[in-house]
Amino acid sequence: MDTRDFTDKLQRAYHSMVDMINISVEVEEKGIDEAFDVAKEKLSQWEELTSHEVEKISTEVKLDLTSLVETLAEAKHAYGEQLALDTLYLKERSLEKLAQIADRTTIDLAEFKRDLEQKVQVATEEQCEQDHHQHQQWDSEHAMWLDDIAMWKKEHQKMQDTLYAIQDGIHQHGMAIEKHAKAIRAHQAGEHQHEIAMVAAEQDRNITDQNLTESQHSHEKMKKTHNKQAKLHHKIKQHHKDVMV
């Protein structure tokens, strides 16, 4: 349904409700409350109207009737400024009938107005009570959320400290690896120099026993260094596995 069709539907509903109230008051001589309830009940039977639309039309008719009680002394063409309903409903036919209803049922409409104001007051108080209750519920939820956040902060800090410790451990492990690599390169270079010296000594017919003894001592020293690096290498290898897990 487009906007124009929707507006036409509400206009027809408004005018029909005014007609039904007017017949009940003028012809059947019913009180305004009864006439209004009957008209609302008949309007609710319209298949094309939702319950929300019925309430909307009923409320606007009621507001317009109570407004007319206060403006009966004014000229008819001035009613439009007093009515709560949107101007799209304000056709002469409905204004005439609203004025007739208001003129014949001024006392009833005064009571009608008081009843409307009381219902508005009760609705307002109930809404305020609901709002207060909701505020209390929000306060409870906010307190719970803040407790959650405090716990999350502690867990986050703990995890961050753990992360820093892991990062520091990884850094220290990297330094140990680099130091181990430098020691191996130095040992490798010394071993190569010793190999060259041994080959030269084997080919030198003038080599003495002292030279051989010194070469052997140098070899034993390098052997100890090699064994030390072997043990260290095994230790670093195992630590590397633990760090990488």
Question: How does pLDDT run across 174-231, given as a tens digit for each residue?
Answer: 898 898 899 889 888 888 887 887 787 777 777 776 766 777 888 888 888 889 888 9
pLDDT, residue 23, reads 83
Domain boundary residue among 82, 104, 126?
104
**In the listed set 104, 131, 156, which residue is the last one of a domain according to the structure?**
104
52 falls within a domain: yes
The C-alpha atoms of residue 228 and residue 226 are separated, in whole angstroms, by 5
Tell me, yes or no, whether 113 lies in a domain. no
Domain boundary among 49, 76, 104: 104
Q: How many CB atoms lie within 10 A of CB 56?
A: 15
**In this structure, is residue 134 part of a structural domain?**
no
212: in domain: yes
Q: Classify residue 232: in a domain, yes or no.
A: yes
User: pLDDT at residue 103 above 60?
Assistant: no
Note down the domain range covering 93. Answer: 3-104
pLDDT band at 80 (very low <50, low <70, confident <90, very high): very low
Tell me the C-alpha distance between 184 and 164, whole Å. 30
| 31 and 84 belong to one structural domain | yes
Indicate the pTM of the whole model. Answer: 0.40
Rg (CA), the chain: 50
Same domain assignment for residues 56 and 149: no
Instruction: Report the alpha-carbon distance of residue 14 to residue 2 in Å, rounded.
Output: 19
Residues 10 and 93 in one domain: yes
Reported confidence tier of residue 102, pLDDT bands at 50, 70, 90:
low
C-alpha distances (whole Å) from 169 to each of 139, 160, 175, 215, 245 are 45, 14, 10, 42, 13
Asked whether residue 240 is assigned to any structural domain, the reply reads yes
pLDDT band at 100 (very low <50, low <70, confident <90, very high): low
The average confidence (pLDDT) of the chain is 76
Structural domain count, the chain? 2
Do 94 and 150 fall into the same domain?
A: no
**Per-residue pLDDT at 157 exceeds 90:** yes
> Is residue 159 in some structural domain?
yes
Q: Are residues 75 and 153 in the same domain?
A: no
Instruction: Give, in degrees to the nearest 5, the angle at Cα 153 between 147 and 155.
Output: 105
d(CA 213, CA 114): 126
